Amino acid sequence: MIFIPIALLIFLLFILFLPILLALAYFHIITLSFEGLGISSGVTIFLLFLILIGSCINIPLTRKKLVYSTRARFFGLFRVPQVEIQGVAINLGGGLLPILLSFYFLFLLWKQGVELAPVLVAVFFMIILTKFLARVVPGRGITLPFFIPPIFSAIFALILAPEFAAPTAFVAGVLGTLIGADMLNLRKARKYGGYLSIGGAGVFDGIFLVGIVSTLLVG
């Protein structure tokens, strides 16, 4: 008969349930983050669900175009035909929903009589920063280090608008990233072809983390 020490059994159970514990902690952090932005936990979970599901949905902004070409194979001895879809879309979870949330926060600030100039300055700084750091990668689209939007939007918010830093960080992180990284690099990215998604793969991670990390940093 083999006896398993209690400590080892507890450790094995901990490893087994660790992903579940991390997931629960993650959702708790998200809930606290959005509560700092004035959104209840119930609405937060619903928005998180929409953003995650919406990350798989691209809304076309231009008509899709099929481009037929050939690609060299085996040291150029063979030419293989291929079909590429070209066009521009906006990602529901990484683009449209965060934009709507940003304008909602701007409306709340305006309704409370808050001067919006510091918020717009923070957005402007994020546009410059993300435009400079974003890279157009053939086959992948526009990429940006995921930690740039949340960290720097929080820094700009703390400096420019410490009294209402949480919504400022969110608005600056979302609008600054989408304008600077995606929209201002859109013409360059279209030269490489492919189907481009504003707020899609490449910047979605950063946009998603803006609502979490930036709020935690300022909270």
pLDDT of res. 208: 74
Residue % of the chain over a pLDDT of 90: 16
Instruction: Read off the pLDDT band of 127 (50, 70, 90).
Output: very high
| Of 64 and 107, the one with more pLDDT | 107
As given in the structure block, the two tokens for residue 75 are: 């040291």
Q: What is the mean pLDDT of residues 49-70?
A: 75
**68 in Cβ contact with 83 (< 8 Å):** yes
Residue 188 has pLDDT above 90, yes or no: no
Residue 1 has pLDDT above 60, yes or no: no
Alpha helix stretches (DSSP H) within 81-134: 97-111, 117-133
As given in the structure block, the two tokens for residue 20 are: 């579940």
Instruction: Read off the pLDDT band of 126 (50, 70, 90).
Output: very high
| Of 40 and 147, the one with more pLDDT | 147
As given in the structure block, the two tokens for residue 164 are: 């209402």
Residue 146 has pLDDT above 70, yes or no: yes
Count of CB atoms situated within 10 Å of the CB of 114: 17
pLDDT of res. 36: 63
Question: What digits encode the pLDDT tens for the residues 6-55?
Answer: 555 555 654 655 555 445 555 566 566 566 667 776 777 777 778 878 88
pLDDT of res. 203: 74
Q: Tell me which residue of 214, 212, 99, 133 sits closest to 168, measured CA to CA.
A: 214
Task: Encode 131-159: b = buried (16+ Cβ within 10 Å), e = exposed.
Answer: beebebeeeebbbbebebbbbbbbbbbbe
| Of 211 and 24, the one with more pLDDT | 211
Q: What is the mean pLDDT of residues 176-200?
A: 82
- Span of 75-89, 134-148, 175-189 with lowest mean pLDDT: 75-89
pTM of the model as a whole: 0.76
Phi-psi sector, 161: left (phi>0), alpha (psi -120 to 50), beta: beta
CA–CA distances in Å: residue 173 to residues 9, 23, 81, 152, 176: 45, 24, 41, 8, 5
Q: Tell me which residue of 43, 160, 37, 169 sits closest to 108, measured CA to CA.
A: 37
Residue 2 has pLDDT above 50, yes or no: no
